[in-house]
Structure 1
Amino acid sequence: MADVKFHDIGEGMNEGEITTYFVKIGDEVAVDQPLVELQTDKMVAEIPSPAAGKITAIHFKKGEVVTVGTALIEIDDGTGKVSDETPSAPKKKKAAQQKRTKPDQNKDKLVSSSYNRILAAPYTRKVARDHDIDIEEIKGTGPGGRVTEEDVHNAIEGGTESVSRTVKEPETDTIPYTGIRKQIGDNLTKSITTIPHVTHFDEVDLTDLLEFRRQLKQEGESVSVVAFFLKAVTIALKEHRIFNAHLDEENNVIRLSKSCHIGLATNTDKGLLVPVLRDVDQKNIRQINMEMKELTQQALDGKLNAGDMKDGTFTISNVGPIGGTGATPIINQQQTAIMALHKTKKTPVVLENDEIAVRQMMNMSLSFDHRVADGVASVEFTNRFIELLEKPNKMLLELV
């Protein structure tokens, strides 16, 4: 008798899940014939037969997890003795076994046909399994009829010559992943995989600013609250220049921008576009308000050109009108930070004199490149931004 054990396959793995049995009790098997497949954390492994004979016992079910050294299958090899030979047995012994079975090649063929054994590498089987393809139905084009990875991919794509039966894909509607949508995806993927993002959350009391804006509107000055956000952030950026910078990895320097070109994340029917409002630090709130509205409208109308979205030094995403209480925005490439402004709502707040009052509170978040700036710097930067919005009279002292 021979026990087939889950032997040590390296990679530091000490357990695996049984994914497939290639034989059943009563099957005749040949030396080195694959018997069972196991999935570890790092790889898929096949366990071959250490001897020729008949399967007399299978100790575990598909899906069970076993540890290294566990006997999985029992084979009656005709010796009458219990053997725990594994594929790691000495080469001379293995060669001797192969020599004994080699003259009876026709018997091996009969054994293989009795259980419809398909030749395929473990990874090829995994690809087929992941795509719900029955590898037994694939016509192999490799040596000896082996199913190759290319055969499986042909079957996945519906090649009629490679497979006689495939799983029909469910009907779906599709949206082309091209143009602006793909460019956005590529840029965001590059950003999130190359920049170590850290997000700082805070809140702003906009009560006094909204009252000031209401008074201006009564006097005939209609100014978007976002214009005040833009002015406040440029003042803070002038004082905390590390957030108006980009990391030049090629030359190992952090370049501090002398201008404030603010990107305005704008949701359009073509995707999220980020037109850039230039030299915001050199404009007053009325100018900012007018140019911001013009630029946003051009984005909505699809009239932006490539130059309108270049050279931004910092980005603001105002999602407040849509809703949401928090987010972790992804930094635009070549920038150090991005600020997201969220929904403003009436909230009971404890004031300095311990009185409770209803205030207009807005959540905000700042994602920044931790290679360029530290957490303390982000708190100092946002504190200044918050101060300017909560006490808009201080903002007047900084106006151009």
Structure 2
Amino acid sequence: MAYENNVDLADVQPTGRHGHITLADLQSYIDSGQKQPAQTVSQTAETAVQNSQVPAASQTQQAAAPTPAPALKEGRVDFTPVRRAIAKAMSHQNETIPTVTNFDQVEVSKLVEHRKHFKQQAADQDIKLTYLAYVVKALAATAKKFPDLNASIDIDKFQTIYHDQINVGVAVNAPSGLFVPVIFDADRKSILTIAKEIQDLAAAVRSGSIKAAQMQGSTITVSNVGSARGSWFTPIINGKEVAILGLGTIAKEPVIDKNGAIVAGQLMKLSLSYDHRLIDGMLGQQALNYLKSLLADPEYMLMEV
């Protein structure tokens, strides 16, 4: 966007986290009319040479000095208690679980339209209807159809422990670290109910009022990087679970429709990681295919669940 509008990003005031420039920052700068035509710098340089003036580079530096970069961090800083717990848990999971990740994507134009249609009705009930709520519902339905995904392993006895509840953990990022509050009995709840619970749990995490009981008892988890425009990734399996779904962004990309024509589609990126001691690649892909069918058409999700 900066390139297409001939904007030098050094001139844009950032407001994002860690000093990042957001699209809103860039749009605000463009709307303010401060940007110059692409030829301005080269023309200034040419004029300076012809008139034996101060070089254009010096003029540019004087006219718009870049914002100083923040100082680099130095030395050692102790982990916070939350970061220490995360580090221990992630190290243990990564060392003890042989993980496989299947990467896939699904065309979700119908899902996008469904959310658009009901977004205001949800807002009227003080509910923020997100794509994550649909994914939690679809993942719960998938775990019900493929119970191996909703299990745990007792490796000492070589036994599979199947759970009688489907409790979906939802990874929530907070300034102090990553928390995983739980949507209990997600397969029995409506999408609006799930959306409300996600909203309330995320608020509790970020305010520091989340309770331990709200973060215990998950049987399968979803981690979301789509809000940060992330695509595919390899999430680490949570707790005593055997599967975790990584939710990526929805991007407008060319797809081939049923008539063989190339059209603009909405592709959602998905990453399903699972414990290979219990789940094989074929089962993992079958479960992912079923999840995709639910997300591709919300009406089918409501019929099937």
Determine helix, strand or coil for the equivalent of 2:122.
Answer: coil
Higher strand share: 1
Determine helix, strand or coil for the equivalent of 1:221.
Answer: helix
Percent of aligned positions that are identical: 34
Determine helix, strand or coil for the equivalent of 1:328.
Answer: coil
Q: Does 1:202 align with 2:117?
A: no
Larger gyration radius, structure 1 or structure 2: 1
Residue number among 217, 233, 240 corresponding to 1:334 in the alignment: 240
Distance in 2, Cα, partners of 1:175 & 1:301: 24
Q: TM-score, normalised by structure 1?
A: 0.55
- Structure 1, unaligned stretches of length 5 or more? 1-170
Q: Which residue of 2 aligns with 1:76?
A: none
Distance in 2, Cα, partners of 1:210 & 1:272: 28
Q: Give the ranges of 4+ consecutive aligned residues of structure 1 lying more than 3 Å apart after TM superposition.
A: none
Q: Does 1:396 align with 2:302?
A: yes
1:167-207 deviation line (CA, Å, top 9, x unaligned): xxxx9243321401011000000001000010100001111
What letter matches 1:247 in structure 2? I
Distance in 2, Cα, partners of 1:237 & 1:259: 10
1:124-147 deviation line (CA, Å, top 9, x unaligned): xxxxxxxxxxxxxxxxxxxxxxxx
1:36-88 deviation line (CA, Å, top 9, x unaligned): xxxxxxxxxxxxxxxxxxxxxxxxxxxxxxxxxxxxxxxxxxxxxxxxxxxxx
Residue number among 71, 79, 83 corresponding to 1:177 in the alignment: 79
Higher relative contact order (CA 8 A, sep 6+): 2
Distance in 1, Cα, partners of 2:273 & 2:300: 26
Q: What is the CA-CA distance between 1:395 and the residue it aligns to?
A: 1.1
Q: Which residue of 2 aligns with 1:221?
A: 122
1:85-130 deviation line (CA, Å, top 9, x unaligned): xxxxxxxxxxxxxxxxxxxxxxxxxxxxxxxxxxxxxxxxxxxxxx
Distance in 1, Cα, partners of 2:144 & 2:188: 11
What letter matches 1:221 in structure 2? A
Q: Which residue of 2 aligns with 1:258?
A: 164
Q: Does 1:288 align with 2:288?
A: no
Distance in 2, Cα, partners of 1:276 & 1:212: 25
Q: Which residue of 2 aligns with 1:55?
A: none
What letter matches 1:203 in structure 2? Q
Q: What is the CA-CA distance between 1:398 and the residue it aligns to?
A: 3.6
Determine helix, strand or coil for the equivalent of 1:299.
Answer: helix
Determine helix, strand or coil for the equivalent of 1:397.
Answer: helix
Q: Which residue of 1 aligns with 2:145?
A: 239
Write the mapping of 1:1-400 to structure 2, written as runs, cut at 5 A. 172-218=74-120, 220-222=121-123, 223-399=129-305
Distance in 2, Cα, partners of 1:247 & 1:311: 15
Determine helix, strand or coil for the equivalent of 1:184.
Answer: helix
Determine helix, strand or coil for the equivalent of 1:203.
Answer: strand
For structure 1, which segment, 297-306 or 375-384, has the greater mean C-alpha deviation from structure 2 after superposition? 297-306
Distance in 2, Cα, partners of 1:174 & 1:297: 31
Distance in 1, Cα, partners of 2:122 & 2:202: 20
Q: What is the CA-CA distance between 1:362 and the residue it aligns to?
A: 1.3
Q: What is the CA-CA distance between 1:336 and the residue it aligns to?
A: 0.2
Q: Which residue of 2 aligns with 1:115?
A: none
Q: What is the CA-CA distance between 1:354 and the residue it aligns to?
A: 1.0
Count of residues in correspondence between the two structures: 229
Q: TM-score, normalised by structure 2?
A: 0.72
Higher helix share: 2
- Structure 2, unaligned stretches of length 5 or more? 1-72, 124-128
Distance in 1, Cα, partners of 2:94 & 2:119: 41
> Quick check: 2:225–2:231 contact (8 Å CA) kept in 1?
no
Q: What is the CA-CA distance between 1:302 and the residue it aligns to?
A: 1.1
Distance in 2, Cα, partners of 1:204 & 1:268: 29
User: CA-atom RMSD, angstroms?
Assistant: 1.6
Determine helix, strand or coil for the equivalent of 1:321.
Answer: helix
